[in-house]
Structure 1
């Protein structure tokens, strides 16, 4: 059974935290629309001497969602989540954990390393901790270290996607784990959400379609490229961060590179000291999952959730009638 905080969503969806793209505007819109909104803590950056941006973001999100709930008791907002990059090069990790603990962030998403003390901090403020993994070995380690749930990042997902089929990954995890399980990987329609649940996942984990929303903190060219591209335009490469990830081929060409002849990079090159493992030289190389063929326009995030909800209901009705 899902923990109470994940039980009353409009549709079984968590919006994934996307580097740069996910910020307060997008998170608030996602939560008001009835799905879990999220952002990476490292997206909240400030110059030396300025007030801490993460504090301001958490205060704004909490206050706006509280106002929404008071004005709309019949359709309260979904909870929100903050993503912590648990990598040895993230010098901000301890500070950001303390801030999230103090603000009682309800859902913590951890990536690139499972650590017992991070999960303990989440539990200490009443939160749940979800850890993203790309295979069954990492899944077992995450649960052993205190994670409450898992995010299975399968082939076709945006960002640092795993190589395994969602069918294989979900069935191996469900063979031993009956806790909260999310699935990421090319999910961009209501039918895909229902398919993820039929496969054994509790919730779908959706990122790339939200890049093409009005609230996303992405350049107009990036949003347009999402709308204009499809699965054939996605290239998998380790060059840009040191870990295999999925990227838009047109953005690679625009940077003067051949998407079909990219060099490889080693994971040792990952460094989150500046907020991202991606060097500034690759700042216009844009990530995306394979599901973007379903994205046909730039629209408000709430309208995207409306479409997903309608498709999800229609897919359930269609299957029930068969």
Structure 2
């Protein structure tokens, strides 16, 4: 298998993506206990100047609570958790946050917006496994060359910062040369899509937007409700708000007094992950409630507990597998035999 042992015995082949502002310990712990990898951006853990690092408080809480769960449930242990590091020159906290993740031996690391060898070395020093998110094959090669263990292919339709390539094309190009751990992100809001991701060559699905509409998510009620009421046509792809292209909810843009169909283009050099004096990410006031989401939200109909969402995904995933078994070539023709690669090449 291309997956490391830590990712081979999950309830579902799913990693929950790190959601800016939204992924707090409550959500991460609920995701892990439900049997899928929970994650959060290190920059979500913010403190005011002079206060102890909130990231350390979070790591201690998550580690201890999952350990207690595992001791009480040896036959149904929690999935591991991941921390996302924004590897961008504007992130002044990166070195400190990396040190804390090493201290707490974070098992899974996700790196974004830059590939740096020293970050991968730090992760490996504590036994961590690192996946780097990419939007094209060029960045995928760079990340692996610099020491990343696996990749997250962020395809068209993914929430937040996203690429523009079809998942079919992106996964196929990466799989031509890379046989390591590969996750797929982009409009995955149903169990059927998890199976589809595996069918096209990915090992796991990387799901974000569906978890916004959960009880444990740190999102305001209006955001959660908008997710349940919107569909793919309510998503706009723009780089105005961060300097990097991403997908956002059109209704939230309208509520901010802008026309989502006529947005300006931003200068990528203005991208910044600096925090203000209160520990908040610097952002124009009028953009405070511009909400990100992917095209898969049409499958999200109500706000539910995280455990219930994972239950739904599991039911759909195994129903899709059963449906394929019942309607595939073997079912239609009992004499069907799949050719091996060598046999196919030989004609």
**TM-score of Structure 1 vs Structure 2, range by shorter chain:** over 0.9
2:26–2:216 CA contact under 8 A, matched in 1:
yes
Q: Distance in 1 between matches of 2:220 and 2:295?
A: 20
Give 1:280 deviation, angstroms.
3.9
2:256–2:286 CA contact under 8 A, matched in 1:
no
Answering whether residue 298 of structure 2 is matched by residue 297 of structure 1, we say: no
Cα RMSD over matched residues?
Answer: 0.8
Give 1:50 deviation, angstroms.
1.6
Give 1:212 deviation, angstroms.
0.3
Partner residue of 1:264? 265
Structure 2 alignment gaps of length 5 or more: 328-347
Q: Distance in 2 between matches of 1:310 and 1:20?
A: 29
Q: CA, structure 1 residues 115+277, in 2 after alignment: closer, same or farther (shift >3 Å)?
A: farther
Partner residue of 1:239? 240
Q: Distance in 1 between matches of 2:312 and 2:20?
A: 24
Q: Distance in 2 between matches of 1:218 and 1:74?
A: 32
Answering whether residue 200 of structure 2 is matched by residue 207 of structure 1, we say: no
Partner residue of 2:287? 282
The CA deviation string for residues 165-215 of structure 1, in whole angstroms up to 9 with x for no partner, is 000000000000000000000000000000000000000000000000000
Give the alignment's TM-score, normalised by structure 1.
0.99
Question: Runs ≥4 in structure 1, deviation > 2 angstroms?
Answer: 275-281
Give 1:52 deviation, angstroms.
1.1
Answering whether residue 62 of structure 2 is matched by residue 61 of structure 1, we say: yes
SS at match of 1:284: coil
SS at match of 2:247: strand
Larger Rg: 2
Give 1:279 deviation, angstroms.
3.6
1:21-32, aligned counterparts within 5 Å? 21-32=22-33
Q: Distance in 2 between matches of 1:282 and 1:37?
A: 27
1:241–1:279 CA contact under 8 A, matched in 2:
no
Q: Distance in 1 between matches of 2:112 and 2:182?
A: 15
The CA deviation string for residues 69-112 of structure 1, in whole angstroms up to 9 with x for no partner, is 01111100000000000000000000000000000000000000
Give 1:276 deviation, angstroms.
4.1
Partner residue of 1:10? 11
Q: Distance in 1 between matches of 2:60 and 2:112?
A: 23
Partner residue of 1:134? 135
Q: Distance in 2 between matches of 1:212 and 1:44?
A: 21
Partner residue of 2:95? 94
Q: Distance in 2 between matches of 1:121 and 1:97?
A: 7
1:270–1:277 CA contact under 8 A, matched in 2:
no
Give the alignment's TM-score, normalised by structure 2.
0.92
1:33–1:305 CA contact under 8 A, matched in 2:
yes
SS at match of 2:269: helix
Structure 1 alignment gaps of length 5 or more: none
Give 1:130 deviation, angstroms.
0.4
